[in-house]
Chain A
Amino acid sequence: MFDFLSFEFMQRAVIGGTIIALIAPWIGSFLVVRRLSLLSDTLSHVSLFGIALGLLTGIHPLLSAFVCALGAVALIEYTRTKRSVYPESLLALLLAGSLSLAMILFSLSDTAYVSIFQYLFGSIVTITWSDIAVIGTTALITALLLTRFYRQFFLISFDEDIAKSSGLNVTMYNALLLFLAAGVISFSLRIVGALLIGALAIIPVMTAVLYKTSFKKTILLAIGYAVVSVWSGIYLSYTIDTQSGPTIVGISILLFVITFLYKQLRRTHQK
């Protein structure tokens, strides 16, 4: 069953995928409870625009993706505090706008056009060791900061007014959280793709929330679901010869549906 692991590219796929499965739902947990589920999708599309810009101008695509994601985060946070537009409508605008611009830029560059599918759907089996080093370092820094400031991130997610009245610098912790989300999403893009990183940060968390358990257990369950989705997705895509990214997302949605139905059935039986 595990003979596919004898290929080095598969080993890299499993390692890279596992790192993303550990960190994406972790940061995603804070986004989901803050009603910012769409943010991860928006950031991934803005990063896609950044990559297209990078490929066209010769700047390192990951760097331009990260800078564009940070710009989007600053804009989102600014309008959220100013309350000048509905936050989710701005997310929708950025999502559609950056995807359109990315497509225009990709089509302007003949060489870049080839890469579009790789960045849209990711290419987990073409991960290099340097990709793993980049996402590994990002994940490590993110994990350390999420652990160090767990109480603060929990409190700003639970109730911003209570957090402010407790003397927390809510603006700073908000900015830090979004900065980390921008890093994880833009650096994971080449591996899982723009359409799928958002799914991996959000769907396992949605599944874990159904358990109605503590916040820490919800994060652990979400990570568990993401790891299972990635491992079984890679294995299945290898055996039935499908795209790995969409297979991973398909499995995570399937796990959500099964868990949802199971919880509903249990509730009906308890009544």
Chain B
Amino acid sequence: MQITPQPLITVRDLCVTLNEISILSDICFELNMGEYVGVIGPNGGGKSTLIKVLLNLLPQTSGTFHIGNEQIPHPTIGYVPQRLVQNDVVFPAIVSDVVASGLTKHVRRKEKKERILAALEKTNCTHLIDRHMSGLSGGERQRVLVSRTLLMNPHILILDEPTAGMDIASEQQFFQLLKELHDEGMTILLVSHDIDRIAKEVDTVLCINHSMMCFSGTSHLDMSDAINKMYGGHVHVLHHDHHHH
């Protein structure tokens, strides 16, 4: 008998209202272990707010969400923001400082170095270890931030518009990295405005527009329909064979 997997994230009737404006209303979805989910929608539609609520950075007005299941009651979440709160142009840190900040407890210097190197190797950033953060390109910086989360051994990786402002080659490389992590079993929740790219990469798509969830699923035909309604135009989501297992 096959055991039905319990979802790792369960969101029920989630509403967020800020200054009497509805940012999110009645959002419901589940994220299963090992699933790769993309949240898409126009800017200002509420995508980033959803992530902020899940990360406890913003309170919800009503509704519930639960992160964890019987197998993993308190999953570790790795978060990669769109941009850093600090202006990292002047922040005095090198790549190894930032990656090391992902460690959750004190470890010996030798083990720390080994773990930093292993995390950077995974994201193809070993050569950047001693580089100053201000000297990195957008793509390099995002890969370094992913390396940081890898030191936490996360169960879930949450990324907010991680490829915004990247050139095509860097974007390609970044999605390849996420694909590799997903292949190894990582549960990923990704927010992006890049519909076609997301449709190509992820298992499931959630569309959020005008604070409401207008589509959730894997069918590309339905997705095209939902997106056309969302953007009021004729967008064709191309069907890509993303089932790489």
Q: Does A218 contact B (CB under 8 A)?
A: yes
Instruction: Tell whether, in the assembled complex, residue A165 and residue B55 are in contact, meaning their CB atoms are under 8 Å apart.
Output: yes
Instruction: Tell which of A159, A214, A215 touches B84, judged by Cβ atoms closer than 8 Å.
Output: A159
The docked-state distance in angstroms from the alpha carbon of A159 to that of B158 is 16
The docked-state distance in angstroms from the alpha carbon of A165 to that of B75 is 12
A153-179 residues at the B interface, CB under 8 angstroms: 154-155, 157-162, 164-166
Binding site secondary structure of chain B: loop
Instruction: Tell whether, in the assembled complex, residue B55 and residue A215 are in contact, meaning their CB atoms are under 8 Å apart.
Output: no
Contacts of B94 on A, CB cut-off 8 Å? 213-215
Instruction: Decide: A165 near B97, CB < 8 A? Known: A159-B86, A213-B92, A215-B92.
Output: no
Question: Chain A: which residue is nearest B154 at the CB level?
Answer: A166
Instruction: Decide: A151 near B56, CB < 8 A? Known: A161-B81, A212-B132.
Output: no
Instruction: Tell whether, in the assembled complex, residue A158 and residue B55 are in contact, meaning their CB atoms are under 8 Å apart.
Output: no
Contacts of A166 on B, CB cut-off 8 Å? 79, 102, 104, 152
Instruction: Tell which of A165, A212, A218 touches B77, judged by Cβ atoms closer than 8 Å.
Output: A165
Instruction: Decide: A218 near B92, CB < 8 A? Known: A154-B97, A158-B101.
Output: yes
Task: Report which residue of A158, A162, A208 has the largest number of chain B beta carbons within 10 angstroms of its beta carbon.
Answer: A162
Q: Does B32 contact A (CB under 8 A)?
A: no
By size class, the interface of chain A is 20 to 34
Contacts of A208 on B, CB cut-off 8 Å? 92
Instruction: Tell whether, in the assembled complex, residue B97 and residue A33 are in contact, meaning their CB atoms are under 8 Å apart.
Output: no
Binding site secondary structure of chain A: helix
Contacts of A24 on B, CB cut-off 8 Å? none
Contacts of A165 on B, CB cut-off 8 Å? 55-57, 77, 79, 158
The docked-state distance in angstroms from the alpha carbon of A158 to that of B148 is 12
Contacts of B79 on A, CB cut-off 8 Å? 161-162, 165-166
Instruction: Decide: A33 near B57, CB < 8 A? Known: A155-B101, A158-B98, A158-B101.
Output: no
Instruction: Tell whether, in the assembled complex, residue A154 and residue B92 are in contact, meaning their CB atoms are under 8 Å apart.
Output: no
The docked-state distance in angstroms from the alpha carbon of A33 to that of B89 is 11
Contacts of A196 on B, CB cut-off 8 Å? none
Q: Does B28 contact A (CB under 8 A)?
A: no
With both chains docked as a complex, state the minimum distance between the C-beta of B126 and any C-beta of chain A, in angstroms.
Answer: 17
Mark interface residues in B83-96 (1 if CB within 8 Å of A CB, else 0): 01110001111101
Contacts of B91 on A, CB cut-off 8 Å? 33, 158
Q: What's the count of A-B pairs with C-beta under 8 Å?
A: 70
The docked-state distance in angstroms from the alpha carbon of A117 to that of B96 is 46
Q: Does B134 contact A (CB under 8 A)?
A: yes
Question: Chain A: which residue is nearest B94 at the CB level?
Answer: A214
With both chains docked as a complex, state the minimum distance between the C-beta of B207 and any C-beta of chain A, in angstroms.
Answer: 24
Mark interface residues in A180-221 (1 if CB within 8 Å of B CB, else 0): 000000000000000000000000000011011111101000
Contacts of A212 on B, CB cut-off 8 Å? 92, 132, 134-135
Instruction: Tell whether, in the assembled complex, residue B57 and residue A154 are in contact, meaning their CB atoms are under 8 Å apart.
Output: no
Question: Chain A: which residue is nearest B98 at the CB level?
Answer: A158
With both chains docked as a complex, state the minimum distance between the C-beta of A147 and any C-beta of chain B, in angstroms.
Answer: 11
Contacts of A214 on B, CB cut-off 8 Å? 92-94, 96-97
A-B contact pairs, 23 of them (CB 8 A): A29-B92, A33-B90, A151-B100, A151-B101, A151-B106, A154-B101, A158-B86, A159-B81, A161-B79, A161-B85, A162-B79, A162-B81, A165-B56, A165-B57, A165-B158, A166-B79, A166-B152, A208-B92, A212-B135, A213-B92, A213-B94, A214-B96, A214-B97
What 10 pairs across the A-B complex have the smallest Cβ distances?
Answer: A165-B79, A218-B92, A165-B55, A212-B132, A214-B94, A215-B93, A215-B97, A155-B101, A159-B84, A209-B92
Known: A165-B55, A214-B93, A216-B97. 8 other contacts (CB 8 A): A33-B86, A154-B101, A161-B57, A161-B81, A165-B77, A213-B94, A213-B132, A215-B94
